[in-house]
Amino acid sequence: MPMANELFNWLYRDLEDQASAILEPASFNYYRSGATKERTLARSRDSWAKYDFIPRIPVERKMVSSRSQFCTVDLAAPIYVAPMAFQSLLNSGAESKFALAANLVNVPYCLSSRTTTPINEVAEVAADPVEQKRLFGQLSGFHKYMLEHFWEKDKASPNSSKLFFQVYFMAEQEVTFQLAQEAKSSGFSLLFLTVDTPVLGMRLSDLKMGFVPPEGYADKLYDRLVAQGRQSSFNSSGEVPFQPKSRDNALNQDPAIGLGATKLLKDRVDLPVATKGVISQADLAIAIAHGAEGVVVSNHGGRQLDDTIVTANTLWGLWDNFDPFRVSVDGGISNGADVVKALCMGAGSVGIGRNAAWAFASGGAPGVAAYLIEVRIEIEYAMTLLGAGSVSELDRSYITPRMMP
Ligand SMILES: Cc1cc2nc3c(=O)[nH]c(=O)nc-3n(C[C@H](O)[C@H](O)[C@H](O)COP(=O)(O)O)c2cc1C
């Protein structure tokens, strides 16, 4: 049986403080920071705690299942790791080890276009049975015991997804299409097209600290395309040579990109697309009309327009009557109870960003695996104590905005 001192070793540590003690200050700040006065960032942090549960007592209790779906893909649990750029800043294992840890727990990992690791390498390491076995061996007895419990349950979702790929439309679209194609051929099952970054939010603290992003995989791909383009113009193969704009310009996000870009992407890469960064419910129908399967309700972790409404209040106050499997949400989620509140508000799944990153920074792959196991445990606890047997049973009748301070 698990030892009491091994329980919830990660979920209730101050992971952000631990990461700040370990990371180089400008790297830590890049992960921590938000736009301008960071008011949306600050509000996001405790926004989910401002909703209270209203447990129900079912006539008969059933075994809880937290299986879910997002767009066309099955989820063994209603969570995934949100896309975050430049993970070599967090831990030397970078994107490969982060994805390995999430996948061990049957939690999908969304790889950012700003990955520092080649896309196929991330897919290979994440699915490597030797790496998985080694990582399992590094977990505590409690986490092993609980993970085996989840593996047994997850046999009911044999087709659950493991890898998503986030797309930024670069000003040089060929780079974008190549990245997304590589993701498809490496087995990624869903694209997140980020639509909330026509310009990068004003992260003043990063500017003050002189943060310079590391070289990403897109830079290397760009160089390769340039070299191939040069060759093709000499070898008269008939191919149109790649004619890049300036390097910096080519790798910046295209400011013209909006919901209509979904079709452009789908015409080139045959994978389902979710548009990430939607706030108004009116944009859900427009996104779907342009070919998206669903949307991620997100304010980009408070990193774009400061004073944008936090996503808990967005779902509670502005959204109603939508298909949960078309709507996911992220922003300020730190534990399983937060996840269940988002499901009660109608989302079918939830992205976890910084908190997973802090676990990865301070504990590497075993840290993030243990953290995600604990989140999964807490989701099942909260559902059991709420009296709901499945994600589809959760609705607004189980929560209320806090009535008294
Ligand atoms: C350091 C950092 C890098 C990010 N990079 C990306 C990215 O490359 N693409 C993207 O769509 N979102 C990116 N995001 C936004 C996250 O995907 C997600 O929307 C947000 O972090 C969720 O909030 P949380 O961190 O409070 O969980 C990034 C967020 C952080 C903190």
Indicate the domain borders of the chain: 4-225+251-401
Tell me which residue has its CA closest to atom 5 in ligand 1.
Answer: 84
Res 222: pLDDT: 87
Taking the C-alpha atoms of residue 347 and residue 349, their distance in angstroms, rounded to an integer, is 6
Q: Point out the least confidently predicted range of 247-251, 279-283, 361-365, 390-394.
A: 247-251
pLDDT-derived band at 19, boundaries 50, 70, 90? very high
Taking the C-alpha atoms of residue 97 and residue 294, their distance in angstroms, rounded to an integer, is 28
Query: Which helix or strand (DSSP H or E) is residue 172 part of?
Result: none
301: left (phi over 0), alpha (psi -120 to 50) or beta: left
Taking the C-alpha atoms of residue 385 and residue 6, their distance in angstroms, rounded to an integer, is 22
Using alpha carbons, list the distances in angstroms from residue 368 to 18, 136, 206, 353. 13, 12, 25, 12
CA of 279 to the centre of ligand 1 (A): 15
Count of CA atoms in the C-beta half-sphere (13 A) of 85: 19
50 in helix, strand or coil? Answer: helix
CA of 283 to the centre of ligand 1 (A): 20
Using alpha carbons, list the distances in angstroms from residue 167 to 83, 114, 268, 330, 345. 10, 9, 13, 17, 27
CA of 199 to the centre of ligand 1 (A): 15
Position 239 pLDDT exceeds 90: no
CA end-to-end distance (rounded Å), the chain: 40
Res 1: pLDDT: 44
The highest-level CATH class for domain 4-225+251-401 is alpha beta
The alpha carbon of 176 is separated from its chain's Cα centroid by a whole number of angstroms, namely 19
Stretch 107-121: mean pLDDT, rounded?
A: 97
CA of 43 to the centre of ligand 1 (A): 16
Q: Ligand 1 — pocket residues by CB below 6 A? A: 30-31, 44, 82-85, 112, 114, 166, 194, 276, 298, 300-301, 303, 330-333, 351-354
Between 369 and 14, the higher pLDDT residue: 369
